[in-house]
Structure 1
């Protein structure tokens, strides 16, 4: 049985608690879930941990941009090397590179800023026509309904409580209809420590869980047999306002474009009281199963 609740969250915290080798080098492990490759949100979250540990604690991450270069091997440790690009009066910029077997599997640029006051606005949250998290199925409900399609969702630790307002991208073909958006309620499925960097890393981890589903939603497509296989190519995240990743937020995702076996997805994250806490962007490789590799 997979881990649930605080036990799964504690395991996630262990994954994010990198071993520091020297001032700019860290080593991380992956949970042994039977997956063939490292989950992209994991390596991105770990890369951010490494970068954040080299920055003064009064500076908070506000943006990150990463590229997934090679599949990660979950049976091997990941080494993270952090380069200090700049430390200014208000901003610090870091480059964090993840390597296995002597090759880069992921790299990220992240920018940190001291707290400042200034102009403040955001677009309204789309909450009026969205049921709350208690009124939509849990991931366990979906797994029990479609056990043969659930795959890794049935065995992986459930550190993030993911509740689709619509239908997950891995349901059987024919049970998913085209939609212009994909909306998901999320929260870390337990309590996190009061460390803004940990909450930012946990949100980075969660932001990779359903974003590309919105590309498939436009076409009524699904992941897996009878549908599409894919992989993340790059990932960007902008953190706008303070938040707790262990409190509910709505991940409102859309896809403005898909072409050339690539799909672009954009997401906005809103708290239950309507605050816009973060925005994400991701391009993914998407190929119909059986298509010839380009």
Structure 2
């Protein structure tokens, strides 16, 4: 995928009947279905059953099994409740009749109320002063570890610019936080808020669990640690556009018992808090097989 339109085509599911939908998968470099893809496709399925104009305000999901890239995913939506102000949906994603993912999502009608938010860190380097993943590959591809180089070579519709650049050749423990600017590579025109939320859900699964490796980077890395998303929660606050860079500010408060936890705030470039994300994931050290 190279463009926002290709991403939208991936996320927009085929309708089988009013409560069942089907989607395909595209790799981001992993041998399994990308968690952000099944998250966003599930949001698309839930939205297809919302007929009262309500907008997604939160989602909570569990990844049950690794998805097969070559098998279509069927999404079953249960219309749990349509109340006076909120609508609740449950989405079950399955392949070959086996559940691989479950999501609960809540939608809220437009209302007025108190308004406050935390401030974005304005001391961070701006994206114009940073290298993107694409530029890093071009400049350092010949010396990057094979697994890192392969990951960066995958074509994506999103460009990422990390503020804290990690040297994969220098093994040292790092602070438990990460800041990444991101932007769609091609314009997204005339998109409604529901569509923008689906794309943001897709993007939200990038980078967040990787932050939990940072405090252990002297020993742990993607080559010797089994990483997988276990659950994912997200809260949406304000409307936004993709016409400029956005900041994903991530911190990782804890890792223990082969699980890492991270949470992130997503800001527009002008400092508006768009969404918050929380995720726990598997961080299992791989045991070398005896020869």
TM over 0.5: yes
- In structure 2, relative to structure 1, the CA distance for the partners of 1:223 and 1:201 (3 Å cut) is farther
Q: How high is the TM-score relative to the length of structure 2?
A: 0.91
Q: Partner residue of 1:247?
A: 244
1:210 match: 207
CA distance in 1, matches of 2:67, 2:48: 22
Check if 1:148 corresponds to 2:143.
Answer: no
Residues 126-275 of structure 1 mapped to structure 2, 5 A cutoff: 126-127=121-122, 129-144=123-138, 145=140, 146=144, 148-167=146-165, 172-174=168-170, 177-192=173-188, 193-220=190-217, 223-225=221-223, 227-245=224-242, 247-275=244-272
Q: Distance in 1 between matches of 2:171 and 2:84?
A: 54
**8 A contact 2:43–2:198 mirrored in 1:** yes
Rounded Cα–Cα distance in structure 2 between residues aligned with 1:96 and 1:45: 11
**What SS class does the counterpart of residue 137 from structure 2 fall into?**
helix
- 1:78–1:245: structure 2 CA closer, same or farther, 3 Å change rule? farther
Residue by residue over 1:202-258, the C-alpha shift from the partner in whole angstroms, topping out at 9 and shown as x without a partner, is 101100000012211223355323x42200000000001111245321111001111
RMSD: 2.0
Q: What CA distance in whole angstroms lies between the structure 1 residues aligned with 2:258 and 2:177?
A: 20
Q: Distance in 1 between matches of 2:282 and 2:288?
A: 12
SS at match of 2:37: helix
CA contact (8 A) 2:227 2:284 kept: yes
In 2: Cα distance, 1:92 partner to 1:30 partner: 28
Which residue of the partner structure matches residue 24 of structure 2? Answer: 29
Instruction: Provide the aligned length of Structure 1 versus Structure 2.
Output: 283
Quote how far apart the aligned CAs of 1:126 are: 1.0
Pair 1:245–1:229, CA change in 2 (3 A): farther
Deviation at 1:32?
Answer: 5.5
Change (3 A) 1:11 1:66: same
Larger displacement relative to structure 2 (196-205 or 175-184): 175-184
Is 1:147–1:154's contact at 8 Å kept on the other side of the alignment? Answer: no
Provide the rounded CA distance (Å) in 1 between the counterparts of 2:168 and 2:287.
17
The separation in 2 between residues aligned to 1:108 and 1:60, in whole angstroms, is 16
5+ residue gaps, structure 1: none
Counterpart of 1:76? 71
Q: How far apart in 1 are the matches of 2:61 and 2:150?
A: 24
User: What secondary structure does 1:210 align onto?
Assistant: coil
Q: Which runs of 5+ in 2 are unaligned?
A: none
**Which residue number in structure 1 is paired with residue 116 of structure 2?**
121
Secondary structure, counterpart of 1:73 in structure 2: coil
Does the CA-based 8 Å contact 1:181-1:253 persist in structure 2? Answer: yes
* 1:97 alignment partner, SS class: strand
* Match of residue 14 from structure 2: 19
